[in-house]
Amino acid sequence: MQTFSESSETEQVSHCAHNSVEHAGCGCGGNDRAAATEERHHSGCGCHASPASPAPEKHSCGGGCRGVCTPRRIHAALGLLLTCFIFFHLGVVALGLAPARYDAAASALQRIGDRIPILETALLVLVAAQGAVGIRLLIRSGLSYRSSRCKDDGQLRYFFQRWTAVLLLAFLALHLAMFKLWPGEPSFATVSHRFTLGGNPFLTAFYALALAGIAFHASNGLWTGSSVWGKREGRPRLWLGIAGASGAVMAFLGFIALRAFAG
């Protein structure tokens, strides 16, 4: 026969498991406050050891997160892979400050791509999948500031995240058209000409805006993704540092690349 003590313990574990699922990150930015309350509530060995412990504040985003947790997790995971590639890509492009080094690196990468064509195919599939999931989430959320379901301090970031997504889609279409549809060797002189269309200041300004958008979108995506995957709880400062440092480094590499090819 189950004792009263064992029954209470089972109910406590069940309640903890329920709260763990209920407060799983949905990525809207509104669950940080609930997570902090949950952490204080679960401090100590027993879930309900202290009757005076306040009940955890339930995260509420107006019901707008229902049905999008899984797509946001997929989007965050794909975004992490793309962020790693963008770091590598900007690092190579930043070598444009020394044209000879850039030409050597670009030629080596082209040889690798020719020998292992599946790498480029995998990258295109990754970009397409990330774009498809992102467009789905974007259509569902809309672009208006008031359309955001977030009721916490993440609403402004979420608003910019959606608009930078639109900017990056436009930039990606232009970038692929300029560097994939036009034949030619990836030399410094060729890339520099395409980068600015022979010195077009409007295109240069668009590239600068897009690079800033990439830095914000990627860094905020890391911060949001850490919540979506439940990694932020108890370590918000760590993830804030990772997200902030990633955005700063990406913005710096983007500035160097712009200076090298459009300066």
Cα 239 from Cα 76, distance rounded (Å): 14
pLDDT digits (tens, 9 = 90+) for 107-156: 899 899 889 989 989 999 999 999 999 999 999 888 888 765 555 457 88
> Collapsing DSSP states into helix, strand and coil, what is residue 172?
helix
Contact present, 148 and 158 (Cβ < 8 Å) = yes
Q: Is the pTM of this model over 0.85?
A: no
pLDDT band at 82 (very low <50, low <70, confident <90, very high): very high
Structure tokens at 102: 């850039």
Task: Say which residues have a Cβ less than 8 Å from residue 149's Cβ, sequence separation at least 6.
Answer: 28, 30, 61, 62, 63, 64, 65, 141
Average pLDDT over the chain, rounded to an integer: 76
pLDDT digits (tens, 9 = 90+) for 89-108: 999 989 988 989 998 998 89
More confident site: 26 or 29: 26
Structure tokens at 70: 């899984």
Q: Give the pLDDT of residue 191.
A: 72
Cα 128 from Cα 185, distance rounded (Å): 25
Domains of the chain: 31-60 (no CATH), 70-262 (1.20.1300.10)
